[in-house]
Structure 1
Amino acid sequence: MRTRFDRGHTDDLMSFLAASPSPYHAVASAAERLEKAGFRQVEETDAWDSASGGKYVLRGGAIIAWFVPEGATAHTPFRIVGAHTDSPNLRVKPLPDAGAHGWRQVAVEIYGGPLLNSWLDRDLGLAGRLTLRDGSTRLVNVDRPLLRVPQLAIHMDRSVPTEGLKLDKQKHMQPIWGLGTDVREGDLIRFVEEECDLAPGEVTGWDLMTHSVEPPAYLGRDRELLAGPRMDNLLSVHAGTAALAAVATAAGADALPYIPVLAAFDHEENGSQSDTGADGPLLGGILERSVFARGGRYEDKARAFAGTVCLSSDTGHAVHPNYAERHDPTHHPRANGGPILKVNVNNRYATDGGGRAVFAAACERAGVPFQSFVSNNAMPCGTTIGPITAARHGIKTVDIGVAILSMHSVRELCGVDDPPMLADALRAFLEG
């Protein structure tokens, strides 16, 4: 199979994935791309003005960005691309220094629902956010082999071939990072301070997590597949960022009928209930302030929200060649077949018939095909930020994404054409 698209977008996605080992790095990477497109950061603590142009807010591992065209009214509706920045992984505990039997270890907690076996025998780095004594924050990325979760040799568990691998999240997932007979309190944080050229004791808080240091790579005979980390859901964050930047810099951007928005939240993998999650007030507060900054009142906000549509973009399941019976027999999304429209009549996805029409129109304008996904009736269906966004803000929401394999693995797999096709569809949607 030959790919249809120039690989420039996918090459940039690979750079984005490699530069974003944590949600904090992901929003910094997105902000860097938006800055090049003319966006400017606004602080939540400042008074906002009515100026047109691109703006964004950073809060922790979330970014909300929007472009106000010239002539936008207080009741101009929004077109929103929603996504999330977090991925399942192993996160460092408050007391991280551990060890036993001559091995130094780092105490970790399981974040979200990772495929635990995919983290075994991987060379892992350490990344995240540090909070310093003066209250400022610093990103850290030790992107080299530092930790490893060693698997038990098969000779010591002969049940694995017949009964399968069984992992205890507490006992079996603590990585090693050295040798020593004593546990040295503060060792890990002192190491991180040295990596960042910080004085001892300067770090007083941390949000640290592990990541595979193996870079993204093209895969297959014809290099038509992409293997890499955190595609769920940085693939959508990257596509949404690219789409918003393209819309904002295009000729005629000031004539847009909508205000295009990117809303990339944190904490989707554990329920979205945080100040930076989709179930928090961040998006609604920013959209409301944007309305009010343009002279609007409650009535204008209500009118704007009533005309708003959100595409909740998250990865979905491509048909698995070894487990095809786990999929719905008539819905088999394929790699490089175009973005997927996710449907669940029990509202695990927010798509309805009207939402399908919106997405179909965007794909038609972009010249890309799309596929439909529903779960096998005999299996539970996952969910996304889509239903949360629809319920919290009362706006029409449609669930879409890219079909991948190995979701929640330390390395996931997609077709190389699907990311640029998603970005093209998102651009067409934001343009209205």
Structure 2
Amino acid sequence: MDDLAQDLADFIVASPTPYHAVAEVVRRLSAAGFVEQPEAGPWVDGPGGRYLVRDGTVLAWSVPSDAGPGLSMRIFAAHTDSPTLKVKPNPDVGAGGWRQVAVEVYGGALWNSWLDRDLGLAGRLALYDGSTVLVDVHRPLLRVPQLAIHLDRGVNSEGLHLDAQHHLLPVWGLGAPAEGDLLEFLAGEVGVDADEIAAHDLVVHDVVPPARLGEEEELLAAPRLDNLASVHAGIGALLAAAGTPGVVPVFVGFDHEEIGSGSATGASGPLLETVLTRLAGGFDARGAAFATSRCLSVDVTHAAHPNYLGHHDPGHRSVPNQGPALKVNANQRYATDAPGAAAWRRACRDAGVPTQVFVGKNTVPCGTTVGPLLATRLGIRTVDVGIPVLSMHSARELCGVRDPGFLAAAATTFLTDLQP
């Protein structure tokens, strides 16, 4: 468990953006012998492990030696993106003698969690020749400064009120802003000509490394646990399940889940359906294959907050280090049904992994996941699960060190389960 928690921490550090997460996933898959399936190239049949990349989304699968049309698939679905602050196309702004960076909020971020943190900058630069270059300034570069209490005497009694347009702009130096400053700096970081940069996808990220905490170091504090903890477990489960006869294990990490999944690389797009149709042996064969397949939608869930227990259902609280939680919602905000729950419980039992159940309080609306989207689009039975975390959507979140290992073990069993 300790080794896996450290490996998760290393994975998170290597993955400040979805593009970096995909690159790290590809590095691990390639080291295990997986080969790329170009999306625009001819489809390669036959046994073996393959992966396909589109921007911040990655799919990977392992075809067994006994594969044939209509073979069942076991799918692990997660997402690579996290709430953050994204740099605007024209980034160079400033006021009052400060140089700042223009940003907009990506996803449902807890705005206050980005205040007074040492922030790096990462993403991709798109060049005029059609290529892209990854960049990661993994050192203190930016900071979103909070107003001193002397100038906002009511902040503790009346609450913090932030305007995303004016109060979330990070500073990164002194002086007057000049057009092209930030891109000139980034060009120097990656060794390209600034004049060749046509566009960019850049976000800020917390540069404080993940850390164990607690008397027994039983907790892990880290950025982007939502949802890199699931991506990490999914890749580990896929590699462990590769080559299992009688089933095709599949992993997918989608981008854009935090903003609704409605994109060419999101869960509402056609990418996964296209790949699964090909794996099933074509459109005519996919009906039988999809009918016997199962999908595990994996995203973090809410740990019971000791300071706000009234926000949780008293009979369905999730606690760190007691196993990943089965996520259930009567209105199908989570895709779990009874047969899907039974399949998950069987996987946990066979793997020797504890599990719990999360149900939201009736008066507190719950979030949702890619699970209902995939179940609706594909008609494949889907079950939602996730490890419990505190401070979800904060710049830094908290989980139990044992839960990533529990999740990987149960997911491996789920991906290799041949029961109908």
* TM-score normalised by L of structure 1: 0.95
Q: What is the CA–CA distance in structure 2 between the aligned matches of 1:169 and 1:357, rounded to whole Å? A: 44
Query: In the TM superposition, what is the alpha-carbon distance from 1:33 to its structure 2 partner?
Result: 1.0
**Whole-angstrom CA distance in 1 between matches of 2:121 and 2:283:** 46
Q: Which runs of 5+ in 2 are unaligned?
A: none
Structure 1 residue 289 and structure 2 residue 265: aligned? Answer: no
Match of 1:206 in 2: 200
Q: Who is 1:3 aligned against?
A: none
CA drift of 1:192 comes to 0.5
Q: CA deviation at 1:254?
A: 4.7
Measured in 2, the distance between the counterparts of 1:61 and 1:132 equals: 17
Partner residue, 1:80: 75
Structure-2 separation of matches of 1:254 and 1:71: 9
Contact conserved, 1:71 with 1:254, CA < 8 A, in 2? Answer: no
Which of 284, 308, 322 in structure 1 is aligned with 2:293? 308
Letter of the 1:415 partner, please give it: G
How far apart in 1 are the matches of 2:244 and 2:392? 39
The aligned runs of 1:164-313 (5 Å cut-off) are 164-180=159-175, 182-248=176-242, 253-255=243-245, 257-291=246-280, 296-313=281-298
What is residue 107 of structure 1 aligned with on the other side? 102
**One-letter identity of the residue aligned with 1:313:** V
Distance 1:49 1:23 in 2: 26
| Gap regions ≥5 residues in structure 1 | 1-5
After TM superposition, where is structure 1 displaced by more than 4 Å over at least 4 residues in a row?
A: none
Instruction: Tell me if the contact between 1:193 and 1:202 (Cα under 8 Å) persists in the aligned partners.
Output: no
Q: Deviations over 1:235-262 (max 9, x none)?
A: 00000001101112xxxx352x210000
Once the two structures are TM-superposed, the CA of residue 74 in structure 1 deviates from its matched residue by 1.3
Partner deviation per Cα, 1:296-332 (whole Å, 9 max, x = no partner): 3433111111111000000000111111111001111
Task: Name the CA distance, whole Å, in 2 between partners of 1:201 and 1:71.
Answer: 53
1:331 is matched with which residue?
316
SS of residue in 2 equivalent to 1:201: helix
Q: Give the match for residue 359 of structure 1.
A: 344
Q: Does 1:372 align with 2:357?
A: yes
Measured after TM superposition, the shift of residue 200 of structure 1 is 2.7
Query: What is the root-mean-square deviation in Å for CA atoms of aligned residues?
Result: 0.8
Partner of 1:50: 45
Which residue in the other structure is 1:429 paired with? 414
Q: Give the stretch that moved more between structures: 347-356 or 44-53.
A: 44-53
Shift of 1:221: 1.0
Secondary structure at the counterpart of residue 408 of structure 2: helix
* 2:377 alignment partner in structure 1: 392
Partners of 1:96 and 1:241 lie apart in 2 by 35
State the Cα deviation string for residues 174-212 of structure 1 (Å, max 9, x = none).
0000000x3200111111100001123121111000000
Residue by residue, what CA displacement relative to the aligned partner does 1:379-403 show, whole Å, maximum 9, x if unpaired? 1111000000100111110000100
| Letter of the 1:185 counterpart | E
Normalised TM-score (structure 2): 0.98
| Deviation by residue 1:131-169 (Cα, 9 ceiling, x = unmatched) | 112101111000000000000000101111211111111
Distance 2:318 2:210 in 1: 23
Do the aligned partners of 2:37 and 2:44 also contact (CA within 8 Å) in 1? no
